[in-house]
Amino acid sequence: MKTVERVEALREAVAGLRADGRMAFVPTMGNLHAGHLTLVREARRHADSVVVSIFVNPLQFGPNEDLDKYPRTLEADRRALEAEGVDLLFAPPVEVMYPVSLEQQTRVEVPEISALHCGASRPGHFAGVATVVCKLFNMVQPDLAVFGKKDYQQLLVIRRMVRDLAMPVEILGVDTVRESDGLAMSSRNQYLDAAERRIAPRLYATLCAAADRVAGGGRDWDRLADWIRGELDSAGFRTDYAVVVDAATLLPPTDRSDRLVILVAAWLGKARLIDNLEMEIK
Residues that bind ligand PAF in the complex, under the rule CB under 6 A? 27-29, 57, 60, 129, 132-133, 151, 154
Residue ranges in 151-201 assigned as alpha helix (H): 152-164, 194-199
Beta strands in 98-254 (DSSP E): 144-148, 170-174, 238-246
How far apart, in Å, do the first and last CA atoms of the chain sit? 48
Nearer to ligand PAF, 175 or 220 (CB): 175
Is residue 82 within 8 A of residue 1, CB to CB? The reply is yes
Smallest separation, CB 74 to ligand PAF (Å): 15
46 is catalytic: no
Radius of gyration of the chain (CA): 19
Residue type, 166: A
**In the complex, least distance from residue 60 CB atom to ligand PAF, rounded to whole angstroms:** 6
Q: Give the DSSP H/E element, type plus range, for residue 100.
A: none
Q: 144 near 172, Cβ under 8 Å?
A: yes
Task: Give least dist CB 68 to ligand PAF, A.
Answer: 16
Nearer to ligand PAF, 147 or 221 (CB): 147
Shortest Cβ distance from residue 226 to ligand PAF (Å)?
A: 29
- The SS3 assignment for 193 reads coil
Distance CA 261, CA 116 (A): 14
Nearer to ligand PAF, 60 or 176 (CB): 60
CB 65, CB 106: distance < 8 Å: no
Q: Distance between CA 80 and CA 271 in Å, rounded? A: 25
Closest CB to ligand PAF among residues 2, 33:
33
Alpha carbon distance 228, 241 (integer Å) = 10
Cβ-based nearer residue to ligand PAF, 27 or 142: 27
36, 46, 117, 125: the active-site residue: 36
User: Which one, 171 or 279, has the nearer CB to ligand PAF?
Assistant: 171
CB of 56 to ligand PAF, least distance (A): 8
| Distance (Å, whole) CA 195 – CA 269 | 10
Phi, psi of 240 (to 5 degrees): -85, -55
**Smallest distance from ligand PAF to CB 133, Å:** 6
Cα angle 154, 156, 161 (rounded to 5 degrees) comes to 95
Q: Annotated catalytic sites, by residue?
A: 36
